[in-house]
Amino acid sequence: MQQESNRIGNQRGFTLLELMIVVAIIAIISAFAFPSYMEYVVNTKRTAATSALLQVADRQQQFFMDNKSYAANLTDLGLAANPMFISDDGRSVAAGDNDVVYLVTLANVTATTYTAIAAPMAGQLKRDTECGTLTLTQAGTKNALGGGDDCW
């Protein structure tokens, strides 16, 4: 009798049922957490694009004050390249860099108008279907070609 109680008392570990319950709980939590995390990542990368567009707008206004017309080229504004590829932290990077998330360009440039454009690249292009390409005009008009409401 004592041998049997010792065998039961010495058993340690988890049963298969306990492990399966833990795995099921982790799977349920992951099913809710992962999409939220991916949305957060997309929004963070979009913030780098909006920052770059606002920087272009600031520099265009200064250029306009100095030259009485807007610059047709990003390098005329003192930016790194034309067009300018940016990473998720807002740095200007080379075209083939793995960190590229947006391409910033100028369009519709005249002496009194311009449109700054940030087009998503690579993975950001696939994930950010809600907002897509972001634009900013000389009048301060902000637009998202994907049609999303909360892109700026």
Q: What is the DSSP letter of 13?
A: S
pLDDT computed for residue 96 by the predictor: 78
SS3 of 15, please? coil
**Residue 10 confidence (pLDDT) above 70:** no
Are 50 and 118 contacting, i.e. CB atoms less than 8 angstroms apart? yes
What's residue 108's pLDDT? 94
Higher pLDDT, 79 or 10: 79
Average pLDDT over residues 8-22: 81
Q: What would the mean pLDDT of 4-10 be, rounded to a whole number?
A: 59
pTM above 0.95, yes or no: no
pLDDT band of 7, cuts 50, 70, 90: low
Encode pLDDT of 43-102 as tens digits: 888 999 999 999 999 999 999 999 999 999 999 999 988 899 998 888 888 887 888 899
Cα separation values, 5 from 1, 11, 15, 139, 148, Å = 7, 10, 19, 83, 66
State yes or no: pLDDT of 151 exceeds 90.
Answer: no
Alpha-carbon distance of 99 to 87, in angstroms, equals 5
